[in-house]
């Protein structure tokens, strides 16, 4: 009963549910989500709830269809409507070049939101517990995060609620044993990334050797950071209202002057709030993106644009700052990791860690001949603009990339080029490629493609300067 009491308190404290709410329970079949179902079923009458179940068979491992069948039976036993779907997550992951966890997460959340609409629900209940929270804290700490990231999964965000977020895994297991719940043997455990598994199995035990209460201690720190994050949000709300000049679907224009007096943390928080308002959420937005936005926001000179995940842009307009959906002329959906380049102008790509400046000039043939006589490593380059099959974009390497290195005979696999140039493996995956519709134009910092070089016939020259965003 302890678990039910604790969940009820959490629901009240974070105002997760109101009488008449229609709640979709994300049921993986593991012990957390099954306990969540049990808890919410028990509170259903008291809280005046309508319940349903959603399950995604992500096909990431052989047994997944069996779990889906178990969930179907459980829904029947409870007499609850259920949406159970299979999706080819492995294929999704391959096509998006993302990690298995990230891919599974994306597909899962989109599925849940769709299922919510289909069933006319207005809340989605997730089974995350306090131990998940603490592991997430450590994961983000290891990968790098600011205060907001460390604050962890919020108890409530949009329609998503986490009624078990203050309950420990031990309490959930005890509850499941007591209720004789039969659950899938940790199906989620196998979905865990290798790093999360190591955090759980190596790091937390080591830390517990230093402080037996380490989970409670980290949880407490996380709560303080969460409180701070919510407070900063509250402070940013009136600031955003004051700074907003124009707001319409897909566009938000800010007055920099209105925030001039505020410290950086509040400027940043206001930019976050603005982005969330115009974009709907902050999915995919990382510390690097926010830092790049802030740095540009503080710069007076207008012109640069910052590419943000999901096809959004931050555009510096001197005394104003525009957040906008990228123009539909972008070469591909930005989820592909391909970022369009502004010509002429400045483009900041926080995801890749690079900034590009482009200018268009008439060609001075004598200077050009001097500057491109040898294919040495450089971050500044000039091309024959007429030869480019627009639009220009920047991306990282993909399987099968080839190009024709300047000064060589014929094309070469990019992989072989990198090996010959003795580029360390870690750098190969981080080197940006300038591409047009027909392929690689410039391996940034390494070599131009022969087809785009300046020639006697060149009239208009495109200058590109690339620079690493400072660490």
Which residues here bind a second copy, judged by CB under 8 A?
141-147, 150, 195, 198-199, 202-203, 206-207, 210-211, 214, 216-218, 220-221, 224-225, 227-228, 230-232, 234-235, 263-266, 287, 471
User: Of the two residues 210 and 300, which places its CB atom closer to a second copy in the complex?
Assistant: 210
Closest distance to a second copy from the beta carbon of 150 (Å): 7
- β-pairing, 50-57 vs 82-86, is parallel
Neighbours of 450 (CB within 10 A): 16
Identify whether the C-beta of residue 359 lies closer than 8 Å to the C-beta of residue 345. Answer: no
Closest distance to a second copy from the beta carbon of 207 (Å): 6
Cα separation, 471 vs 36, in Å, equals 42
Closest distance to a second copy from the beta carbon of 262 (Å): 9
Between 214-243 and 264-279, two packed helices, what is the crossing angle to 10 degrees? 80
User: Of the two residues 181 and 228, which places its CB atom closer to a second copy in the complex?
Assistant: 228
Cα separation, 24 vs 57, in Å, equals 16
Closest distance to a second copy from the beta carbon of 317 (Å): 25
Closest distance to a second copy from the beta carbon of 32 (Å): 23
Query: Tokens 């690493």 appear where?
Result: 468
Identify whether the C-beta of residue 203 lies closer than 8 Å to the C-beta of residue 138. Answer: yes
User: Of the two residues 118 and 202, which places its CB atom closer to a second copy in the complex?
Assistant: 202
Closest distance to a second copy from the beta carbon of 426 (Å): 9
Closest distance to a second copy from the beta carbon of 249 (Å): 31
Closest distance to a second copy from the beta carbon of 209 (Å): 8
User: Of the two residues 87 and 262, which places its CB atom closer to a second copy in the complex?
Assistant: 262
User: Of the two residues 229 and 384, which places its CB atom closer to a second copy in the complex?
Assistant: 229
Token pair for residue 416? 């072989």
Closest distance to a second copy from the beta carbon of 261 (Å): 10
DSSP 3-state of 356: strand
Identify whether the C-beta of residue 328 lies closer than 8 Å to the C-beta of residue 311. Answer: no
User: Of the two residues 230 and 413, which places its CB atom closer to a second copy in the complex?
Assistant: 230
Closest distance to a second copy from the beta carbon of 56 (Å): 28
User: Of the two residues 219 and 446, which places its CB atom closer to a second copy in the complex?
Assistant: 219
300 alpha carbon, distance to own chain's centre: 28
Closest distance to a second copy from the beta carbon of 445 (Å): 20
Cα separation, 205 vs 200, in Å, equals 8
Cα separation, 81 vs 327, in Å, equals 41
CA contacts within 13 A on the Cβ side of 469: 21
User: Of the two residues 220 and 242, which places its CB atom closer to a second copy in the complex?
Assistant: 220
- List of residues 6+ apart from 29 with CB closer than 8 A: 55, 67, 68, 70, 71, 74, 183, 184, 187
User: Of the two residues 216 and 455, which places its CB atom closer to a second copy in the complex?
Assistant: 216
User: Of the two residues 165 and 394, which places its CB atom closer to a second copy in the complex?
Assistant: 165
Token pair for residue 8? 């009820």
User: Of the two residues 119 and 275, which places its CB atom closer to a second copy in the complex?
Assistant: 275
- List of residues 6+ apart from 89 with CB closer than 8 A: 58, 59, 60, 100, 103, 104, 107
- Beta bridge mates, 201: none
Instruction: Annotate 367-423 with DSSP letters as a single string.
Output: HHHHHTSS----SEEEEEGGG--SPPEEE---TT-EE-BTTSSS-EEHHHHHHHTT-
- List of residues 6+ apart from 9 with CB closer than 8 A: 166
């Amino acid at each position: 009963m302890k678990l039910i009491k604790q969940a009820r308190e959490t629901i009240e404290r974070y105002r997760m549910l109101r009488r008449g709410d229609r709640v979709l329970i994300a049921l993986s079949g593991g012990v957390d989500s099954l306990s969540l179902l049990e808890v919410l079923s028990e509170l259903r009458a008291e809280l005046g709830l309508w319940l349903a179940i959603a399950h995604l068979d992500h096909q990431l491992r052989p047994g997944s269809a069996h779990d889906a069948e178990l969930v179907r039976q459980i829904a029947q036993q409870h007499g609850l409507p259920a949406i159970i779907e299979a999706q080819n997550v492995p294929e999704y992951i391959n096509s998006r070049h993302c990690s298995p966890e990230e891919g599974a997460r994306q597909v899962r959340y989109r599925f849940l939101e769709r299922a919510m609409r289909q069933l006319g629900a207005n809340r989605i209940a997730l089974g995350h517990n306090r131990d998940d929270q603490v592991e997430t804290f450590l994961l983000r700490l290891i990968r790098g995060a600011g205060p907001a990231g460390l604050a962890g999964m919020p108890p409530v965000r949009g329609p998503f609620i986490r009624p078990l977020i203050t309950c420990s895994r031990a309490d959930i297991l005890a509850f499941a044993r007591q209720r004789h719940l039969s659950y899938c043997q940790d199906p989620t455990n196998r979905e865990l990334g290798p790093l999360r598994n190591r955090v759980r199995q190596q790091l937390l035990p080591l830390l517990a050797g230093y402080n037996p209460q380490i989970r409670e201690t980290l949880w407490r720190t996380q709560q303080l950071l969460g409180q701070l994050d919510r407070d900063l949000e509250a402070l940013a709300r009136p600031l955003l209202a004051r700074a907003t000049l124009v707001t319409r679907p897909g566009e938000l224009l800010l007055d920099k002057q209105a925030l001039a007096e505020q410290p950086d943390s509040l400027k940043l928080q206001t930019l976050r709030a603005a982005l969330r308002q115009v974009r709907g959420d902050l999915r995919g937005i990382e510390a690097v993106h926010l830092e790049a936005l802030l740095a540009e926001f503080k710069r007076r000179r207008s012109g640069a644009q910052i590419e943000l995940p999901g096809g959004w842009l931050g555009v510096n307009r001197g005394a104003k700052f525009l957040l906008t959906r990228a123009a539909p002329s972008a070469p591909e959906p930005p989820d592909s990791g391909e970022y369009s380049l502004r010509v002429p102008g400045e483009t900041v790509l926080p995801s890749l860690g690079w900034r590009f400046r482009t200018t268009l000039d008439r060609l001075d043939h004598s200077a050009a001949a001097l500057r491109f006589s040898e294919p040495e490593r450089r971050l500044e380059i000039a091309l024959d603009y007429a030869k480019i099959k627009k639009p220009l974009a920047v991306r990282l390497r993909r399987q099968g990339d080839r190009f024709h290195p300047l000064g060589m005979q014929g094309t070469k696999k990019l992989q072989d080029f990198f090996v010959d140039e003795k580029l360390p493996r870690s750098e190969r995956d981080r080197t940006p490629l300038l591409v047009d519709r027909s392929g690689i134009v410039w391996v940034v910092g390494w070599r131009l493609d022969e087809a785009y070089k300046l020639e006697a016939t060149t009239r208009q020259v495109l200058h590109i300067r690339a620079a690493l965003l400072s660490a």
